[in-house]
Amino acid sequence: MNPPTPALDTNGPLTGVRVLELGGIGPGPYAAMLLGDLGADVIRLDRPQDDGQDNPAPVLHRGRRSLTLDLKHPDSTAIVLDLAAESDVVVEGFRPGVAERLGVGPDTLLARNPALVYGRMTGWGQDGPLAKEPGHDINFIALTGALHAIGPADTPTVPLNLVGDMGGGLLLAFGAVSALLNARATGRGQVVDAAMTDASASLLAMVHGFLVQGRWQDARASNNIDGSRPWYGVYRCADDRHVALGVGDRRSYAALLEGLGLVDDPLFADQHDRTAWPAMRAALAAAFAGRERDEWASVFEGRGACVTPVLSLAEAPHHPHNAARGTFRTGAHGGIEPAPVPRFSATPAAAPEPAPVVGAHTDEVLAQIGLGPEAIAALRAGGVVG
């Protein structure tokens, strides 16, 4: 007789973990979103001047409670310390030295809670010549070689802010959970220094491996996966939409030629004949231009040719594969957003709560650390909280 299947915990694997997020934009909130999606209780400190406004980041700020607190007010420090005392992880995205000036730096908070994980998200890192310089995603990935490697031969292409910003957020979330495991084993917390430059450099690990082996040229559009091959790239269709080719082996190459009706064309006899690549690219461009994108999607469906339609942000959630896996979900405001990831067999994540109105949980969170109505009213009157 088989043992009964244990009931699933649908609250996520980080249930019971409390995260204190000291405001911030972009990668820090993304890290906090990832932790919240997996069940952590995330409390975000927002600015009092935004109190009562609709959330400015309805997806990145989902799954939070929002407390409005003026970190520049001297009376705010005690509140942050009390919140940190009951937290497992703190996330901040200030420039180096700012948290210390505000009285909420890691030394202060770890003195109050020695098991605390203090996660710091910056572009350049906490040290180095550029540590205190301003910058954005494109600047950080430019300095690590990532931007140089992306795009056509004549100029780099901006890859949104996926490589630096969101890569940095992933790095911070991974670092926070790793440090939390250590803290629970040893009772000792620590600082996690997550830099967007470090994240983009780490994402290039495979490329650097190829470079060491002489299998990568340090120039755009010169390598297997950077657009140099005519059978690994993007082609325009008759309706000005596109298909993506990711052909990498003989089987998929044969399926590509079969779908295009080019099996007997001598131009394509040798997939790796570099001298033929310019003519091959032109022939492929002419072929794909002859039909609309979705016609090509139907032609190549099930062939194993590694040809896929390039879908817009609005189209992607409706693709049968994405719909079947629940890759996207409909948010509380009716908009489409990515579902929590990754997936867990025993502790699947629950649907995230919508991003709160700014300051919606101020009284609730302050009461949680022992402040009564009169004390909260005094803080509000003094402009400490919203």
Strands 18-22 and 41-46: parallel
Q: What is the dihedral of CA 123, 126, 127, 131, to 10 degrees?
A: 40
- Buried b or exposed e, range 53-72, using 16+ CB within 10 angstroms: eebeeebbbbbbbbbbbbbe
Region class of 97: left (phi > 0), else alpha (psi between -120 and 50), else beta: left
Residue 81 CA to residue 68 CA, distance in Å, equals: 15
**Catalytic-role residue among 165, 193, 198, 226:** 165
DSSP, residue by residue, 247-296: --SHHHHHHHHHHHT-TT-GGGS-TT-GGGHHHHHHHHHHHHTTS-HHHH
3-state helix, strand, coil in the chain (%, to 5): 40, 15, 50
- For residue 7, CA distances in Å to 2, 11, 14, 346 come to 15, 12, 17, 8
Q: What is the dihedral of CA 156, 160, 164, 169, to 10 degrees?
A: -170
**Catalytic-role residue among 54, 127, 136, 270:** 136
Q: Is 333 a catalytic residue?
A: no
Return the structure tokens found at 160.
Answer: 């949104």
Residue 218 CA to residue 205 CA, distance in Å, equals: 14
- Please state, as a whole number, how many other Cβ atoms lie within 10 Å of the Cβ of residue 155: 7
**Amino acid at the residue 314:** A
Q: Which residues contact 274 (CB under 8 A, 6 or more apart)?
A: none
Q: Is 165 a catalytic residue?
A: yes
Residue numbers annotated as active site: 136, 165
